[in-house]
Amino acid sequence: MQNLAQQLINYLLHLADTTLILSQRNSEWCGHGPVLEQDIAITNISLDLLGQSRNFYQYAAQLINESKNMQDTKALSSFGEGVGSEITEDSLAYLRTEREFKNLLLTELPNGDWGQTILRQYLFSQYQYLLFEQLQQNKDEQLAAICTKALKEIKYHIRWSSEWVLRLGDGTPESKQRMLVAINELWRYIGEMFIAVDYEKEMNIDLIALQNNWAEKVDVIFQEATLSIPKNTFMQIGGKTGTHTENLGFILTELQYMQRAYPNSQW
């Protein structure tokens, strides 16, 4: 069983990795959005997510370094051999392998079309908001503060993405069909959000309440958008513990290229 410090660090890395990878995915739309206003909107959401990931990485790096100073080598063993003597947010983002990343599988999936990207953002943001509402009451004050700070951003992410879900779901026959395809592509990755792994179990998160609240809110939007929630879908899991789709390797190849090609670069 991991000690509490390890569990907190792993959980921080899970939160950081998830927002970093989704930020990287969304940023692929920069310069390719359907109209300029929406291109800027999704780019700003990418920056919000990147800022959240930085806060989580910085706190995780602080805790890892403290563990190292206490010569807690066991606590460091799961954070990668290539991260160097002084752990930083950059080393955690750029020098860990895909098996060390703990992001949700949902966030690493290809963007697909605009409808699929929008639906993924809505489903994730609705989950993230409800999760951070719980985490702002966490006994760890710094984790709680990071989540509290992010809630205002996430509230906008929900409003923006849900408006697009409504527009596309209850729009033209083609836009509705695209949303149905998006639901079919994404839904089997939803369950992972509500299945706890070891390092989550000490975070005092009520995943049952979280899932019920999330389902209620999503159902309201889907009904208005004339879409339906799939039933009895087989759920893919593994991202939280380092088992990923092939997509993550390609993301990290691009994300980590400069640091891998020119080690110890700073900018």
Q: What is the pLDDT of residue 31?
A: 82
Share of the chain above pLDDT 70, in %: 93
Q: Cα separation of 251 and 257, whole Å?
A: 10
Which residue stretches of the chain have pLDDT < 70?
A: 1-2, 70-84, 267
Domains and CATH numbers, the chain: 4-261 (1.20.1260.10)
Q: What is the pLDDT of residue 75?
A: 47
Q: What is the pLDDT of residue 71?
A: 59
3-state SS of the chain? Answer: CCCHHHHHHHHHHHHHHHHHHHHHHHHCCCCCCCCHHHHHHHHHHHHHHHHHHHHHHHHHHHHHHHHHHCCCHHHHCCCCCCCCCCCCHHHHHHCCCHHHCCCCHHHHCCCCCHHHHHHHHHHHHHHHHHHHHHHCCCCCHHHHHHHHHHHHHHHHHHHHHHHHHHHHHCCCHHHHHHHHHHHHHHHHHCHHHHCCCHHHCCCCCCHHHHHHHHHHHHHHHHHHCCCCCCCCCCCCCCHHHCCCCCHHHHHHHHHCHHHHHCCCCCC
Report the 10 Å Cβ neighbour count for 176.
17
Q: Cα separation of 237 and 193, whole Å?
A: 9
- Over residues 46-95, the pLDDT tens digits come to 999 999 999 999 999 999 999 877 655 554 445 554 445 789 999 999 99
Find the helix packing angle between 207-224 and 141-169, rounded to 10°: 20
Find the helix packing angle between 173-186 and 114-135, rounded to 10°: 50
> Residue 111: CB partners within 8 Å, gap ≥ 6?
25, 26, 28, 29, 117
- Over residues 239-265, the pLDDT tens digits come to 999 999 999 999 999 999 988 888 887
Which residue type does 176 have?
Answer: K
Which residue type does 257 have?
Answer: Y
